[in-house]
Amino acid sequence: MSSEAQSLISLDGVTKVFYTDEIETHALSGIHLQIAPGEYVSIAGPSGCGKSTLLSILGLLDSPSDGKYTINGRSVESLKMSERARIRNREVGFIFQSFNLIGDLTVFENVELPLTYRGMKASERKQRVNESLEKVGMGHRAKHLPSQLSGGQQQRVAVARALVGKPSILLADEPTGNLDSKNGDAVMELLRDLHREGATICMVTHDPRFARHADRTVHLFDGRIVEENVEVA
């Protein structure tokens, strides 16, 4: 069996070029990357090296200019927008630096939202949401609004929202970037627990302490993978 067949995610020669005012910016150049089911991968590198662009392509928020992207055996770079959106809703869970919670929805409603888009029955949605909130220790805050929570609590809710759809992979973009060190450590420990339970995680971080939580760290520089480190337990 090929490594691509064994991979949950496979990028083969992925390139991303942005064009502005006749200037070409090569954000990614010839990226080859495989992520196996249950693996925890950290993407590291200086600001502007292409980390967020890579995560956007992995999450089907953007398309490569060239190259092939396969998730769960499906090549996605040429799919219609509607089909990409469906795969994104079912296969990918996002955790953003800025939490991205909707202010006038309760914690429960924020976590429920991805399931609502699927047309899932209310009884099943309720069970899924309650399970996700309990998993991140936020079940007691279900009726609160985001503004009534601390930053660390909001990020826990964001993790619950990412988990609720039972995605194939969690994508975390600087998940501790807006948190103090204590809350950052707590969120990282939560991600580590989820990984121990079998979650596949790909995380962008600039903090070497948090990168070490991963099984493998992929270093980007000027849009290229320049180094990979495997953590030894």
- 42-51 confidence digits (pLDDT tens): 999 888 899 9
Selection from 78, 27, 68 nearest residue 51 by Cα: 27
How many domains would you assign to the chain? 1
Q: Are 141 and 101 in contact (CB under 8 A)?
A: no
Provide the angle, in degrees to the nearest 10, between the axes of the packed helices 151-163 and 122-135. Answer: 130
Q: Give bridge partners of residue 42 from the DSSP assignment.
A: 203, 217
Whole-model pTM: value is 0.90
Provide the residue range defining the domain that includes 125: 3-230
Q: Say how many C-beta atoms besides its own lie within 10 A of residue 216's C-beta.
A: 16
What CATH number is given to the structural domain containing 83?
Answer: 3.40.50.300
Can you tell me the distance from the alpha carbon of 2 to that of 135, in angstroms, rounded to the nearest whole number? 35
pLDDT of residue 1: 36
pLDDT of residue 173: 93
pLDDT of residue 16: 95
Selection from 166, 142, 165 nearest residue 153 by Cα: 142
Whether the per-residue pLDDT at 3 is higher than 60: the answer is: no
Q: Are 114 and 79 in contact (CB under 8 A)?
A: no
Whether the per-residue pLDDT at 7 is higher than 70: the answer is: yes
% of the chain surpassing 70 pLDDT: 97
Tell me the CA distances in angstroms from 169 to 73, 103, 143, 177, one per residue in order. 14, 26, 28, 20
pLDDT of residue 5: 52
Arithmetic mean of pLDDT over the chain: 91
